[in-house]
Chain A
């Protein structure tokens, strides 16, 4: 009897390297997008929104529900719009009427909001795991680049991430609304004096953040599956990434997201997966102790920052 053929691909070191890289990019995309979401809200309000991860969860879950009777693109659009509405609602109901809250108070309020959203999701959808169908191909399809196999959905998520980054840049640089939001972020009082409705800007930042998070949730749902409880883990990772890149710098968050994802992936290559989280957190802590302004942050500006 012949041996069952060893049907695992014959990888050379370079191909193995790229395979791990691709895995890292997969993790990285979602971290990056959650990080961007953190930064948008932080820039306009100075608040770190711990409920950011819940927007990702809501996007995925809503899309799956809508997909039951809508075609996929419409379901995703609907999910993004609904989540944006929820984001705006959260801001109006909970955040709007706070007057100069302290850092700690804001952290706790957003933690409370994230808990409520999670429990509401549990009530609505139960504890089951759902996922959207793959946009192209299915669970086992994989594109081959040399010896490296990549799922088409990974390419979709990278693509969406890139488009989001580009569109955001255009929005903030060239549109009136985007410039108003940036003014609000730089100096809220001056912006108010200029006639910019700062309260609406804040609501808009929540809406925008929620929409981006929801889109990310939809595009990675086929890969990672969506469940009511995925929000808190994502929020922590997103928070990590936002700080790693330097709070307030969205582009840096994207870079930091991919760096963190790749670090985690390569750490699996060399040591037991069980300590994967410990590795990435240790690196983060080292960052914080040695260079808290973030990888790309400005050291001087950081020292002047007032919380």
Chain B
């Protein structure tokens, strides 16, 4: 063997010993996100946000001196893949915590898994069942669906709307919203005259809109999180040009407004303040981090608009790293630290966790927004 080969061999052996030792100095954070596939509009911005934040925090020296090693798995919104990756991340990579998944169906598939294996799970999915009943290790960062519904109902009361039609998509998000609407309607004096569930890949909803309009409703709520929500409002405007249309907080990406064009004007929906960060008052505690997130994201990923979906991943990551900073890299202590976190300013709102509340947001996390001339603006009270 030549001298070079021997040297190379020696170095490789040395590296093999050092590498594990170096690895011990990182904190592994796993993420199961629907980067491609039917929920890519959720997972892709979430993945990009996490990558941006991890790179950023590592450049500043990591958390408590340890770098964050981010492992992102693309589940393509498939629950069996989510389960497989969850087991992989927990048993093989021995991650400290898992961020995600992007959809409620996947989260429910791995909720018990995370709980039984005592792994922290910070979900970016919105369903209420993720945190009710409370599982000790499972948290979620998106706002509660019921709070979004309550804000919509309060707005409807101001507009004297009492008879509504509901259109929702057949995804976990749509189903959860529909349930909350039907459950909370009676106590807010709202009557749901007709409720239709459409396919998430629907390309034309004229027939559904016709059915809802024919029931003589005073307002329409459309609850979905995929591109079909733009189609829905286009069709609604074509069929009946003046009925008030409300959307869910799944409308939180300007590309849906662009897709709906002129039909988006006047749509009312609750959303996180990220979308109107510029017009917030300077006294608002969220304003500075919203603007810095928006600037950093749009600078790094040129041509892409920031969305509230990426914001959920932002919140999950920042909550996790803050807890690690406070309590050190110990899972139990971090779990307790998250549970005791109060007043955490995130993109989704100001979080106040507790042992019973693993979401930490209430209805004030939402701002009622509307669309004017193709831009998001705060709805005048």
Contact = CB atoms under 8 A, between A and B. Distances in A.
Interface stretch (A8-16, A82-90, A100-108): A8-16
25 contacts: A4-B160, A4-B218, A4-B244, A6-B217, A8-B216, A8-B217, A22-B206, A23-B210, A24-B207, A27-B204, A128-B41, A129-B227, A129-B259, A133-B261, A139-B234, A140-B234, A140-B237, A140-B263, A149-B239, A223-B204, A224-B204, A225-B227, A225-B231, A230-B203, A264-B207
B263 A139 contact: yes
Contact of B240 (A2, A8, A151): A8
Interface of B: 36, 38, 40-41, 44, 159-161, 163, 170, 196-199, 201, 203-204, 206-208, 210-211, 213-214, 216-219, 227, 230-231, 234, 237-244, 255, 259-264
A272 B197 contact: yes
Given A138-B262, A149-B239, A274-B170, A16 B210 contact: yes
A269 interface: yes
Contact of B238 (A3, A151, A229, A276): A151
B36 to A, nearest CB: 6
Interface of A: 1-4, 6-9, 11, 16, 19-20, 22-24, 26-27, 30, 122, 126-131, 133-134, 138-142, 149-151, 220, 223-225, 227, 229-230, 233, 264-265, 268-269, 272-274, 276-277
Interface centre among B161, B170, B216, by most chain A C-beta atoms within 10 angstroms, is: B216
A8 B263 contact: no
Contacts of A26: 204, 206
Interface centre among B203, B240, B263, by most chain A C-beta atoms within 10 angstroms, is: B203
Contacts of B159: 4
A148 to B, nearest CB: 9
Contacts of A27: 203-204
A127 B214 contact: no
Given A6-B218, A20-B210, A224 B263 contact: no
A23 B207 contact: yes
Contacts of B198: 273-274
A127 B201 contact: no
Given A4-B161, A138-B261, A127 B36 contact: yes
A121 B313 CA distance: 26
Contacts of B203: 27, 30, 220, 223-225, 230
Given A3-B218, A4-B160, A140-B234, 6 more contacts: A1-B160, A8-B216, A26-B206, A133-B261, A142-B237, A142-B239
B239 A140 contact: no
B86 to A, nearest CB: 23
A140 B238 contact: yes
Contacts of A11: 214
Contacts of A150: 238
Contacts of A130: 259
A122 B198 CA distance: 25
Given A138-B261, A140-B263, A23 B206 contact: yes
Nearest to A142: B238
A26 B234 CA distance: 14
A149 B237 CA distance: 10
B238 A127 contact: no
Contacts of A264: 207
A274 B167 CA distance: 11
B243 A8 contact: yes
A139 B204 contact: no
Nearest to B230: A225
Given A22-B206, A142-B238, A224-B204, A7 B261 contact: no
A23 B204 contact: yes
Contacts of A4: 159-161, 218-219, 244
B119 to A, nearest CB: 29
Would you list the 5 A-B pairs with minimal beta carbon distance, nearest first?
A224-B203, A127-B40, A23-B206, A139-B261, A139-B263
A249 B59 CA distance: 64
Nearest to B210: A19
A19 B218 contact: no
B237 A139 contact: yes
Contacts of A224: 203-204, 231
A122 B216 CA distance: 42
A268 B38 contact: no
A150 B204 CA distance: 13
Given A22-B206, A129-B259, A139-B263, A268 B211 contact: yes
Given A223-B204, A265-B207, A273-B208, A8 B213 contact: yes
Contacts of B213: 8-9
A268 B205 CA distance: 10
A300 B283 CA distance: 80
Interface centre among B41, B204, B216, B218, by most chain A C-beta atoms within 10 angstroms, is: B204
Contacts of B238: 139-142, 149-151
Contacts of A225: 203, 227, 230-231, 259
B255 A128 contact: yes
A69 to B, nearest CB: 15
B211 to A, nearest CB: 6
A227 B202 CA distance: 12
B72 to A, nearest CB: 15
A258 to B, nearest CB: 14
A43 B181 CA distance: 52
Contacts of B244: 4
A277 B199 contact: yes
Contacts of B207: 20, 23-24, 264-265, 268-269, 273
B227 A7 contact: no
A131 B41 contact: no
A230 B239 contact: no
Interface centre among A4, A142, A151, by most chain B C-beta atoms within 10 angstroms, is: A4
A114 to B, nearest CB: 16
Contact of B260 (A1, A139, A265): A139
A264 B213 CA distance: 18
A287 to B, nearest CB: 22
Contacts of B41: 127-129
